[in-house]
Structure 1
Amino acid sequence: MNKKFLLVMLVLSFIVAAFYAYLGGFSSASVSEASSTQLYVAGRAFHGSVNDSGINDAFRRAAEVLDKKELGGTLGNIYYNNPEGRADSVNAFIGIIIPDSTVQLPADYELRVVPAGRRVLRGEVNAHYMLAPNRLYEAIFDYAKKKDLELDTFYVEWFPDDHQGIVEVPIKD
């Protein structure tokens, strides 16, 4: 019995590790200093607790807009406070990065523009969008600490592919 149990656990562990690797769980993020490009974000604002169902509704709505092809683009969000912080509240704009501002938005969406030309830390990782943010924010904060850079509390994240994540955070002057 012990040998069978051990074999089953070994096989399950291998499957879990392989799946985690497939999702990009072992990928490391790269961070560089860059100049931001202008981004158009169509979405919905959310202010509230991280436990509020409204935040999940906003994420689901963004996925639905893409699935139904109401807008073309990639999942993207703006956070006005640290999304990885330990605070219970989130101030965010959740939606889709769209190619230009002339598209017709769904009735429940509004447009926000992220300005170009700002000095930012840009983190990139090849990992599933469920794993990417943790990798990205940790790498960005570590880089900023090593280089003694102070960051703004304005975070833009987007996911051009299921297995790619990008975060830009302006550097305070």
Structure 2
Amino acid sequence: MNKKFLLVMLVLSAIVAAFYAYLGGFSSAKVSEVNSEQLYIAGRAFKGSVTDNLLNDNFRRAAEVLDKNELEGGMLGNIYYNNPEGRADSVNAFIGVIIPDSSVQLPADYELRVVPGGRRALRGEVNAHYMLAPNKLYEAIFDYAKEKNLELETFYVEWFPEDHQGIVEVPIKE
């Protein structure tokens, strides 16, 4: 019985590790200093508790907008006005879809926000599923900023061009 249990646990561990690897769990983020580009984000604002169902509704709505092709050429994208990796219970965010330009017809429940370009920023990139990417990206960006003695603004833009790719940009305080 002990040998069977050990074998089953070994097989289950291998499956979990393979799935984690498939999601990009073993990928590391690359951080670089860039000049940010202007981005257009269509979405919905949220300010409140991280446990509020409305936050999850906004994420689901963004996925639905993409699935139903309500915004052509878009990709998941968010703006955070406070540190999303902080341990606070509240979040101030704009959850939605990055679109190619401001001329796109928006769904009725969406508004447009423009992220200005031309700012010095740290950009983190990782090849990992959007469920794993943010943790890897923020940790790498904060580590890089600390190592280079850079102070960051509390304005975070993240987007996911593909299922297994995540990008975060944070402006550097001048």
Give the TM-score normalised by structure 2: 0.99
Gaps of 5+ in 1: none
Identity among equivalent positions (%) equals 86
TM-score (normalised: structure 1)? 1.00
Q: Cα distance, 1:110 vs. partner?
A: 0.1
For residues 5-62 of structure 1, what are the alpha-carbon distances to aligned partners after superposition, in whole Å with 9 as ceiling and x for unaligned?
0000000000000000000000000000000000000000000000000000000000
Q: How far apart are the structure 2 equivalents of 1:55 and 1:35?
A: 30
Counterpart check, 1:43 vs 2:43: yes
Counting only pairs closer than 5 Å after superposition, residues 45-64 of structure 1 correspond to structure 2 as 45-64=45-64
Quote the residue 2:115 is aligned against.
Answer: 114
Alignment size in residue pairs = 173
| Aligned mates of 1:136, 1:8 — CA distance in 2 | 34
Are residues 1:91 and 2:92 paired?
yes
**1:168 aligned residue:** 169
Matched residue, 1:66? 66
Map 1:9-20; keep pairs closer than 5 Å: 9-20=9-20
CA deviation after TM superposition for structure 1 residue 122, in Å: 0.2
Shift of 1:109: 0.2
Runs of 4 or more off by more than 3 Å in structure 1? none
Gaps of 5+ in 2: none
Residue 130 of structure 2 corresponds to 129
Partner amino acid, structure 1, of 2:94: F
| Structure 2 counterpart of 1:34, one-letter code | V
Correspondence for 1:27: 27
